Amino acid sequence: MKIKILNQSITNFHGDIIIVNLFEGIKLPGGATGAVDKALDGMITKLIKNKEITGKLGECVVLHTFNKIKPDKVLIVGLGKSSEFGLEQIRKASGAAAKQARKTKAKKVGTVVHGAGIRGLEPGAAAQALIEGTLLALYEFKEYKKPEQSNIEEFSVVEMDKQKNKSFQKGIKTGKILAESQNIARDLINEPSNNLTPKKLDQRIKSIIKNAGLEKIIGYNCLNKTDIKKLKMGALISVAQGSDNEPKFIILRIKNPKKPLICLIGKTVTFDSGGISLKPSANMGLMKGDMSGGASVIGATLALAKAKTKLNLMTIIPAVENMPSAKASRPGDVVRAMNNKTIEIISTDAEGRMT
């Protein structure tokens, strides 16, 4: 989806739908909403009076403009109570509005930045929250199904005041980085386990880094089963040994020797059956998501790299699959960790603390 800034009146936007807002309890809209209301001969005010628009957080009301202004439709999104308003309310309202706009099959959407300048909110921070809420709400995992809904192709932030452009641009860029990185993590979490074994995760991360053009920023190292055994990582091996899919110990690195080292570690069990301590079959398919910790730190690392962080960062992703078999660890087994401590396994479904 293309995102851009337009310096013009919201009523002159050339597109399918415009998004304006309303606080709860407001009887006479002002600002951009007031301008749209005036152009529509007071239609919004009438609906407020009739309590058909309340301004409750996330409430969305779509109106047809009947050629009174250039866009075909207007979407009024509720911002909730002004006394409770903040960045999280912007994210929630923006997400609700984006979903509703998509339902109208809109291709070109124009929006104001909700809350810029209200209660001391910096315009760039408001723009960032707008983009985060929009992109996160529009996320779909489309790998194996035909998308059920049409996609918004162009999303325009409409603002009359050109002096806000620089702040908006910075906020939009940051919001896009954060939301897209989170959505990459969501893609990894939603991926079926047969298509995201430790080996395939290794390949996937390399591909993500390459496609993002971050190969010179993020250092990459992956230890295989032989390497892991040489390092005597007995706890990690004990979780993986029941599976035919070998473990991978993946290390991402953003170097800055001038800063203290920060380490991110995420649990990355690509499928957790529980091992010999087998989980109940109901909802076991959700255990493809037992690598959510790893996906989260991958997303965080990507976001930091795209934002050109000055941190000295190491991200550790110990990828394993926990399966029952004749080779699997048993309750009562004792294994030796890399630090030479011994660990008695009471339940093989307590694998997270072992990796």
Q: What are the residue numbers of the active site?
A: 279, 353
Nearest Cα neighbor of 322 from 239, 234, 249 is: 239
Taking the C-alpha atoms of residue 214 and residue 347, their distance in angstroms, rounded to an integer, is: 40
Tell me the HSE value of 303 on the side-chain side, using a 13 A CA sphere. 20
- Cβ-contact 21, 93 below 8 angstroms: yes
Give the DSSP H or E segment for 5: strand 2-6
Residue with tokens 């923006």: 94
Q: Which residues contact 52 (CB under 8 A, 6 or more apart)?
A: 61
Q: Which residues contact 30 (CB under 8 A, 6 or more apart)?
A: none
Beta strand extents in 50-167 (DSSP E only):
60-64, 73-78, 108-111, 154-158
SS3 annotation, 199-215 = HHHHHHHHHHHHHCCCC
- Cβ-contact 3, 94 below 8 angstroms: no
Q: How many CB atoms lie within 10 A of CB 72?
A: 16
